[in-house]
């Protein structure tokens, strides 16, 4: 496999499932040191928690905290997609699975229930 540059090939790229549906964007990556001492990507991280941690500073902490409040888990974590599920890296990241098998980002759930769902006719739009 051709070496990947995290900053050029992965970060901020759109993630799509095998049917071409958008999953999100790569907000951070998880790295591991192999037996040979080389770093390898083990997972793609998506969501406001990952983005907030990557940005850092006051705004990054605020972004991660707001996203964390929307989660029901005791220790909120970003959407983690194991790199084994990446089928192709090009102008976007294509997964080898469907979006339905992944956890839905909590901000999207909250926005759908509390904002989009309150727009007249929004619930009929899916039909």
pLDDT tens for residues 5-45? 888 889 989 999 999 988 889 999 999 998 999 889 999 99
Q: Is the dihedral of CA 19, 103, 90, 96 positive or negative?
A: negative
Q: Where are the alpha helices (DSSP H) in the chain?
A: 48-55, 57-69, 106-114
Which of the four CATH numbers 3.50.40.10, 3.30.1300.10, 3.40.50.2300, 2.30.30.240 does domain 6-126 have? 2.30.30.240
Whether this prediction's pTM lies above 0.75 is answered by no
Strand order in the sheet with 86-89: 22-25, 14-16, 93-95, 86-89
User: How confident is the model over 53-72, as pLDDT tens digits?
Assistant: 888 899 888 888 887 776 66
């Amino acid at each position: 496999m051709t070496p990947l540059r995290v900053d050029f090939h992965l970060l901020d790229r759109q993630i799509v499932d095998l049917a071409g549906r958008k999953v999100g964007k790569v907000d951070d990556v998880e790295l591991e040191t192999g037996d040979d001492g080389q770093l390898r990507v083990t997972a793609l991280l998506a969501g406001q928690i990952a983005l907030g941690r990557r940005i850092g500073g006051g705004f990054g902490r605020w972004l991660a905290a707001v996203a964390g409040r929307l989660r029901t888990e005791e220790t909120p974590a970003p959407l983690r997609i194991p790199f084994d599920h990446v089928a192709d890296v090009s102008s976007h990241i294509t997964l080898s699975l469907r979006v339905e098998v992944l956890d839905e980002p909590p901000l999207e759930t909250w926005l759908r229930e509390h904002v989009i769902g309150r727009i007249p006719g929004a619930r009929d739009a899916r039909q």
